[in-house]
Amino acid sequence: MSVRVDFAFGAPNRLRTACDVVRKHYLAGRQLIIYQSDPRELQRFDRMLWGFEPTAYIPHVMIDDPLANQTPILLCEHAEALAHHNAPDTWLINLDKKGPPLPSSFHRILEIVSTQESDRQLARQRWRQYQEQGYQVNAHHLGE
């Protein structure tokens, strides 16, 4: 399976933009996993998904939740949990500072990059890692 990685550069607020991306894909009927190894950051994103917009409802649970097989949006902080999730149609949104574990398990990986220089530098490192692994990497600039 060939993996396509899309970087969206220029997000004014990375997590808020990620909420919008998740909503768009949820409404399109796509299954997503959001990966973030830092439990505090993942919890922060979880709270944002519940309240980033008054009328937005995006059902989501942790990947190891008993309702995970019935929920389209899954949050994950452990590489082991990704290893046990085998759904080739699932897309991954990587919110971690590093590249996700097991990237070849996914058809598509989405990376959202803010305008902050530290975030852009980390994204450049992930870009190089994906290229070295032979994945198709694409850049998109938000707001253009």
pLDDT at 141 (0 to 100): 93
**105: which residues sit within 8 A by CB, 6+ positions away?**
82, 83, 85, 86, 88
Report the number of distinct structural domains present in the chain: 1
pTM: 0.92
Which H/E stretch holds residue 75? strand 73-76
- The answer to whether 73 and 59 have CB atoms below 8 angstroms apart is yes
Report pLDDT digits (tens) over 82-131.
Answer: 777 766 688 999 999 999 888 888 889 999 999 999 999 999 999 999 99
Which pLDDT does position 22 carry in this prediction?
A: 95
Domain that holds residue 110: 4-141
The CATH number linked to 124 is 3.40.50.10110
* Contact of 49 with 19, CB cutoff 8 Å: yes
- 73-85 CB burial, b ≥16 within 10 A, e <16: bbbbbeeebbeeb
